[in-house]
């Protein structure tokens, strides 16, 4: 049956005329439904049009870049029409700085697409495995060459966090080595200030790059890259996307600006998300369902022989609880077995989690 969502995204939605508990998608703080973001989008559109219709800079876009720089404590930022373009842009811009790319085999499609366009040699390493990265670099990097390591920061289906600290350690053996993270799911959710995977591991310094999106924690749409003013002008100068692709629409610019501001000004939202994640992970552990103890709001339940998770998802649906059932290798980082992906929102209630846990206890 086709799923048609008939209400605004949130912890309770109406799907195909039934009100359900909703655990899918990526709107971890439900900011896509926040009236402040909606009003900001409305205002930006009524002042500047649905746009942009050109590549000229505008005051709302300037405000957004300032807001990103403030949130991430960087000098400047570059904004793109989608998060997918963030990885494409990063790989293209970095291509002048590396000899060979080493990429986590389960990285997002955008990471591979971005790297392929550079025409540089690409070697995959085992998912989340710094030892394999070290071996692959020792074996394949030409002598005197500069490596680029690329990976998702937080993987979208399993919620695994890339061991970015270990990757950075491996890279210290290679002067000029670069680490570049697609932090689509890490920004807003990881780190004490919600700055993402690097903040989670207290990683700072040169050679660290990341790109991300407003389409998840920040409640809007569009991609961005942060950094020094020099790095941002290098991006604009050195690749074709800023010239060849239209910028972000004005509504998304307005919403993203307020989304960043809300998450910066209201740390209680991140605290609520964390306590919700902890509550559900603990409840699952009590049921004997293994789940790593991380603050990532994506919880992945693996099947076991004799259990059909597709049927489990359908039975939950009959009880008006909706989780994602993803088939083997069904998305970029999916394992070769089926899984249930449960997205936790800051707006979910403990009653909802208790209901989900009670049903899962019977079904798993």
| Interface stretch with ligand PLP, choices 82-90, 242-250, 301-309, 317-325 (CB under 6 A) | 82-90
Tokens of 322: 């909706």
By rule CB under 6 A, what string of x and - marks binding of each residue 139-158 to ligand PLP? -------------x---x--
Query: For 349, how many CA atoms within 13 A lie in the half-sphere containing its CB?
Result: 5
In angstroms, rounded to a whole number, what is the distance separating the alpha carbons of residues 187 and 41?
21
List residues bridging with 79 in a β-sheet: 224
Q: In what order do the strands lie in the sheet with 339-343?
A: 298-302, 339-343, 324-326
Q: Give the nearer residue to ligand PLP in terms of CB position, either 81 or 337.
A: 81
Residue nearest to ligand PLP (CB): 83
Helices (H), 73-223: 83-94, 109-118, 130-140, 164-171, 197-200
Closest distance to ligand PLP from the beta carbon of 222 (Å): 7
Q: Is 159 in the site for ligand PLP (CB under 6 A)?
A: no
How is 319-350 classified by DSSP, letter by letter? TTEE-EEE-TT-STT--SS-EEEEE--TT--H
Residue with tokens 């307005």: 254
Alpha carbons 154 and 186: distance in angstroms, whole number: 5
Between CA 109 and CA 141, with CA 333 as vertex, the angle to 5 degrees is: 70
**Alpha carbons 153 and 156: distance in angstroms, whole number:** 9
Q: CB-wise, 71 or 84, nearer to ligand PLP?
A: 84
Q: Which one among 58, 151, 215, 276 touches ligand PLP, defined by CB under 6 A? A: 215
Least distance in angstroms from the C-beta of 230 to ligand PLP: 25
Q: Between 340 and 360, whose beta carbon lies closer to ligand PLP? A: 340
Does residue 182 interact with ligand PLP by CB under 6 A?
yes
Tell me if 104 contacts ligand PLP by CB under 6 A. no
Query: Closer to ligand PLP at the Cβ: 341 or 348?
Result: 341
Would you count residue 197 as binding ligand PLP (CB under 6 A)?
Answer: no
Query: Is 349 near ligand PLP (CB under 6 A)?
Result: no
Instruction: List the structure tokens of 226.
Output: 């942060």
Asked if 83 interacts with ligand PLP (CB under 6 A), we say yes
Part in contact with ligand PLP (CB under 6 A); list of ranges 52-60, 137-145, 179-187, 255-263: 179-187
Pairing of strands 298-302, 339-343: antiparallel
**Which residues form the interface with ligand PLP (CB under 6 A)?**
82-84, 108, 110, 152, 156, 182, 184-185, 213, 215, 223
């Amino acid at each position: 049956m086709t799923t048609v969502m008939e209400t605004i995204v949130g912890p309770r939605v109406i799907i195909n005329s039934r009100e359900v508990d909703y655990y899918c998608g990526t709107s971890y703080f439900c900011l896509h439904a926040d009236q402040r973001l909606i009003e900001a989008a409305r205002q930006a559109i009524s002042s500047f049009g649905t746009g942009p219709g050109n590549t000229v800079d505008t005051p709302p876009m300037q405000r957004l870049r300032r807001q990103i720089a403030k949130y991430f404590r960087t000098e400047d930022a570059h904004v793109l029409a989608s998060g997918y373009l963030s990885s494409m842009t990063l790989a293209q811009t970095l291509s002048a700085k590396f000899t060979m790319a080493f990429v986590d085999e389960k990285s997002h499609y955008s990471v591979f697409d971005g790297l392929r366009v550079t025409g540089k040699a690409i070697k995959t390493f085992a998912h989340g495995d710094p030892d394999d990265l070290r071996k692959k670099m020792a074996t394949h990097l030409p002598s005197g060459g500069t490596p680029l390591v690329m990976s998702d920061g937080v993987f979208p289906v399993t919620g695994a966090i890339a061991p970015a600290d270990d990757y950075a350690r491996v890279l210290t053996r290679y002067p000029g080595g670069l680490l570049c993270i697609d932090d689509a799911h890490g920004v807003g959710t990881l780190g004490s200030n919600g700055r993402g995977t690097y903040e989670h591991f207290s990683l700072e310094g040169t050679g660290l790059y990341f790109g991300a999106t407003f389409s998840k924690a920040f409640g809007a749409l569009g991609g961005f890259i942060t950094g020094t003013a020099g790095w941002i002008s290098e991006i604009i100068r050195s690749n074709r996307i800023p010239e060849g692709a239209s910028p972000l629409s004005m509504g998304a610019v307005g919403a993203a600006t307020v989304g960043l501001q809300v998450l910066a000004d209201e740390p209680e939202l991140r605290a609520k998300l964390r306590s919700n994640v902890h509550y559900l992970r603990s409840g699952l552990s009590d049921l004997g369902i293994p789940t790593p103890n991380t603050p990532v709001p994506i919880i992945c339940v693996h099947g076991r022989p004799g259990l059909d998770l597709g049927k489990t998802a359908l039975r939950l649906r009959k009880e008006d609880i909706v989780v994602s059932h993803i088939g083997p290798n069904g998305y970029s980082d999916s394992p070769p077995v089926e899984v249930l992906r449960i997205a936790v929102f800051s707006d979910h209630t403990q009653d909802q989690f208790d209901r989900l846990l009670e049903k899962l206890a019977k079904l798993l």
